[in-house]
Structure 1
Amino acid sequence: MEQRRYKDIVAFKWGQGAPLAFHARNLEVAEISDDAWNEMSASEPSLAGAFKALTNWESENSPDVKSGKLSVGIRSLTINVTQICNLKCTYCAAGGDGTYGSAQTKINVEKTLPQLKLFLERIPEGGSFNITFLGGEPLLYPEGIQEIGNYVRLMTAGRDITTRFSIVTNGTLFNEKTLSILRQLKANITVSLDGPAEINDKTRPTRNGIGSTSLVVEGLKLLETCRSDLGSLTLHGVFNRENLEIAKAYEFFQSLNADRYEFTYSVEENDDASNKLYVEQMNDIAAKAYALGGESELRKITLFNQYFNALDNQQQTENFCGSGKSFLVMDAKNNLFTCPWEVGNKEEKVGENTNVDFARMENESAPLIEKNNCQNCWARFMCGGGCMFIHKKGTGSKHQKDGQFCYRTRSLLGTTFIYYKLSRASC
């Protein structure tokens, strides 16, 4: 796919189709003429005709664009209810065994509840609070999930606050007890699964080396019996140079009746050839999804759904995530960190128990697109500066951009624009 740019307009051309352009500030996608496309590469572009129309579009600031500025205030909390796991995934970024280097059988709920009270009291009326249960494997301590969920619902009863609960689990521990607790919370469920058994059993074995896929499939069958009482179901695969079989994972996921599919490039991976192959595989499954069911099937893939939402709503993003601003992680020892991957890193610790460094969060309030020097990137308001942890892994600094991350993002945004235009043209 060939690409050209004029200020905040980036244009793409593939095959014999009309060139497609994206307005970086307004988050608008539109076809442009071949004349405008040709002028974009001219050494001295004309100020009349097609190029003049392009310059006029570039200078516009749409009143429908929604700012991506993120106000400081914790509205999302991930809680490591355990830091142990019954699996031993080959690529585990949580210390290699789910412990983050510090095994903890279960969180101290008596210490957790005052922490939750502190955050909930700061939520304004009309606001929302999101809790994600993580591990280790969180369903090794379902009682803790139940106590925390009950407390949050009690604390917000009678207030105009929307609470949402989610869980990220390996899917091997669904049973009548654990599903009953998740049903009470109407929890959104993400199950980690890297593909069919011949792949997943290698990447996600149990601690004794036995494959885990059959346990996950049986668990999903049980979960299917109570889907109407739960939130969404997402299947989440992680891919790296040891496993880039995304097409096989997609085909397998389709047989499991999930609402969404996530295909994540490992935060620990930094191999250029694998990075490019990942993009190729994502393009392949995008083509398969669109051929199978158009926009609705494509948007089952969470990445494309996220981008479609941003384009539909003209919603800018100035921070890739709310790390340390609107989002924190509580480890199983009741310490608070800025990011799930930074658990145990003293530099990213922002509190313990009810002692929270809110002043530090205020000092970190500047948008990532500024901190990471992304102001001139055409993808900035769709990307939000990128993942700080991935940047740090790739470059040594969380505010120095990792080129492989930028390549993945810009490549898959280009793919998104094509399917977005196809979808909207067919309406």
Structure 2
Amino acid sequence: MELRRYKDILALKSEEGTLLAFHSRNMEVAQITESTWQNMSPTTLLSSNPTDLVLQECEAIEELKTWNSEENPEATTTKIKSAIRYLTLNVTQICNLHCNYCAAGGDGTFGDAIAKISIEKTLPQLKFFLDRLPQGGSFNISFLGGEPLMYAEGIELVTKYIAEIAPERKVNYTVITNGTLLTDKNVDLLARMKASVTVSLDGPAEINDRMRPTKNGKSSTAMIVAGLEKLLARKSEFSHLMIHGVFDSENIEMVKAYEFYSQFNVDHYEFSFSVSDTNPRATMDYMQQMTEVAALAFAKGGESALRKISNFDKCFGALDAQRRTENYCGAGKSFLMIDARNQIYTCPWDVNDKKEQVGQGTELNEKALEAYQKPILEQNKCENCWARFLCGGGCMFAHKHSSGSKNVKNTQFCERTRFLVALALIYYEKCRSAA
């Protein structure tokens, strides 16, 4: 993929030779001429700063200067207000799988195995956050683990309690599960919640069983597929269904994963790269595989099939709305994490790291939360990156895992993100120019 740049404008050349440009501040995509392309500075995915090397003064450069200086009145910036309206809750910190890349201590426990969260402590904690939310706002709760369906009774008690104390409040529920415990009873519960369900699955059995082995030696894939079929048989009863795969040096076969996922008519597929893998070769392979996955999806069903892949759907949605984002996530602003000991963190993967704890029960460390209130773009010094408003500064946990600091960027994360955004831009122009 060839890239060139002039200040806030990134130019790309597709494999078919189409030349297009993205105005990163104005969230605009347009085709450009060969003359404009030739008079922009070559750049790479690893570079966030424009060199502004102009080969010659000409009409194309004047047009670039004019476009770069324009302000699009239709473009808006999503602001995150400091009001907690998203909570992730570890109802348990044990798991029946032992995934090779597990970020939760290697076994779902975060180094602190707890079979069941204390409901007596959790219910008043949830009421505390609900009471602090301004009237009229919706609330969102994600259930995580370990494997959350190992304590499905806890999930049910939480949802019943919230229905009792806040019947007028719109509460959205998400359950992130390994998919092996989607029994009829558990599916009934998720349907009553009208939950958004994300099922973890890394590909066909020969791959997934190796990456996500059970502790009893059975095939996790067979159980997951059976669970997915139960969910899909009642698809209209859920708010959203997604398959999520994690890929790294030990499994970078995303094309095989996509072909396997395609038999399941879920709403989205998500292809994530493991934050614990720092192998640059794996990053290159990930980008190549995503190129092939995108081509397969587009050939299969055009924009609709491509947008079933969450990475592309997010970019297309932001470009259509001309909506900039300043925050990769709402950590510490709109989002907090509660572990199975009712300790509070800003990130699901910070659990059991005492340096990252920002509260306990109904006590919040407001001083610690102050550090999160600036936009992530500002905290991470992303002001020169052309992909900044489609990225939002990146995952702070991925940054910390690589550099030791949430605000010192993981360069491989940046490279992968810029690549996915650039790939999305090429397909976006192709779809919109054909419309």
TM-score tier (shorter): over 0.9
Partner of 2:28: 28
- 2:44 is matched with which residue? none
Tell me the CA shift for residue 45 of structure 1.
5.4
2:354 corresponds in structure 1 to 346
What is the Cα deviation at residue 181 of structure 1?
1.2
What is the match of residue 46 of structure 2? Answer: none
Deviation at 1:256, TM superposition (A): 1.9
What residue in structure 2 maps to residue 61 of structure 1?
71
Q: Residue 255 of structure 2 is aligned with which of 247, 252, 259?
A: 247
Q: Are the aligned partners of 1:120 and 1:155 in contact in 2 as well (CA < 8 Å)?
A: no
CA change 1:86–1:18 in 2 (3 A) is closer
Query: Structure 1 pair 44/279, CA: closer, same or farther in 2 (3 Å)?
Result: closer
Q: For residue 303 of structure 2, what is the aligned residue in structure 1?
A: 295
Residue identity matched to 1:421: E
The structure 2 residue matched to 1:325, chosen from 333, 337, 345, is 333
Equivalent residue, structure 1, for 2:7: 7
TM-score of the superposed pair, with normalisation by structure 1: 0.96
Is 1:368 the equivalent of 2:365?
A: no
Q: How many corresponding residue pairs?
A: 425
Q: Which runs of 5+ in 2 are unaligned?
A: 42-51
5+ residue gaps in structure 1? none
Residue aligning to 1:398: 406
1:33 shift after superposition: 1.3
Q: Where in structure 1 do 4 or more consecutive aligned residues deviate above 6 Å?
A: none
The counterpart of 1:126, out of the listed 116, 122, 136, is 136
Distance 1:260 1:100 in 2: 28
**Higher mean C-alpha deviation, range 217-226 or range 42-51:** 42-51
Q: Report the Cα distance in structure 2 between the residues aligned to 1:307 and 1:192, rounded to whole angstroms.
A: 22
CA contact (8 A) 2:14 2:426 kept: no
Q: Which region of structure 1 is more displaced relative to structure 2, 231-240 or 148-157? A: 148-157
Structure 1: distance between partners of 2:72 and 2:132: 33
Q: Distance in 1 between matches of 2:424 and 2:114?
A: 42
Paired with 1:15 and 1:333, the residues of 2 have a C-alpha distance of 52
Instruction: Give the AA of the match of 2:256.
Output: K
More deviation, 11-20/119-128: 11-20
Deviation at 1:383, TM superposition (A): 0.9
Q: Distance in 2 between matches of 1:239 and 1:35?
A: 40
Q: State the secondary structure of the residue aligned to 2:271.
A: strand
Q: Does 1:311 align with 2:310?
A: no
Deviations 1:272-329 (A, max 9, x none): 0001100110111000000100010000001111111111111111111111211111
Contact 1:139–1:173 (8 Å) recurs in 2 = yes
Q: Secondary structure at the match of 1:112?
A: helix
Q: Does 1:421 align with 2:407?
A: no
CA distance in 2, matches of 1:43, 1:151: 62
Q: 1:108 aligns with which of 118, 122, 128?
A: 118
CA distance in 2, matches of 1:102, 1:86: 15
Query: Partners of 1:327 and 1:90 in 2: how far apart?
Result: 28
Tell me the CA shift for residue 185 of structure 1.
0.7
DSSP-derived class of the 2:358 partner: strand
Q: 1:149 aligned to 2:140?
A: no
Q: Is 1:89 aligned to residue 85 of structure 2?
A: no
Q: State the SS of the aligned residue for 1:191.
A: strand
Q: Residue 18 of structure 1 contacts residue 34 of structure 1 at CA under 8 Å; is this kept in 2? A: no
- C-alpha contact 2:232 2:266 (8 A) present in aligned 1: no
Is the 8 Å Cα contact of residues 72 and 362 (structure 1) preserved in structure 2? no
* Inter-partner Cα distance in structure 2 for 1:191 and 1:363: 33
**Once structures 1 and 2 are overlaid, which stretch shifts more, 75-84 or 364-373?**
364-373
2:430 & 2:171 partners in 1: Cα distance? 36
List per-residue Cα deviations over 1:141-192 (Å, max 9, x = no partner).
Answer: 111101111222333323xx43210100011111222112111110010000
The alpha carbon displacement at 1:392 in A equals 1.3
Deviation at 1:15, TM superposition (A): 4.4
Q: In the alignment, what sits opposite 1:226?
A: 234
Deviations 1:119-157 (A, max 9, x none): 111222231211110011101111110111122233332
Q: Is the 8 A contact 2:74 2:322 kept in 1?
A: yes
Q: Deviations over 1:219-277 (max 9, x none)?
A: 12222332221221101111110001100110110112211101110011111000110
Give me the whole-angstrom Cα distance separating, in 2, the residues matched to 1:32 and 1:126: 45
Q: Is the 8 A contact 2:182 2:227 kept in 1?
A: yes
**Aligned counterparts of 2:391 and 2:222: Cα–Cα separation in 1:** 37
Task: Give the superposed CA RMSD.
Answer: 1.5
Q: CA deviation at 1:55?
A: 1.3
Alignment partner of 1:50 out of 48, 60, 66 = 60
Q: Counterpart amino acid of 1:296?
A: S
Shift of 1:364: 2.1
Q: Which stretch of structure 1 is more off in the superposition, 218-227 or 93-102?
A: 218-227
Q: Secondary structure at the match of 1:119?
A: helix
Give 1:38's aligned residue.
Answer: 38
- In structure 2, C-alpha distance between the alignment counterparts of 1:219 and 1:412, rounded to whole Å: 30
Tell me how far apart the structure 1 counterparts of residues 261 and 103 of structure 2 sit (CA, whole Å).
23
Q: In 2, distance between residues paired with 1:362 and 1:378?
A: 28
Q: Secondary structure at the match of 1:386?
A: coil
Distance in 1, Cα, partners of 2:424 & 2:268: 17
* C-alpha contact 1:204 1:211 (8 A) present in aligned 2: no
Q: Identity percentage over the alignment?
A: 52
Distance 2:211 2:412 in 1: 23
| Superposed CA offset, 1:4-30 (max 9, x none) | 111101111234533210111111111
Q: Name 1:191's counterpart in structure 2.
A: 199
Alignment of 1:199-278 (within 5 A): 199-278=207-286
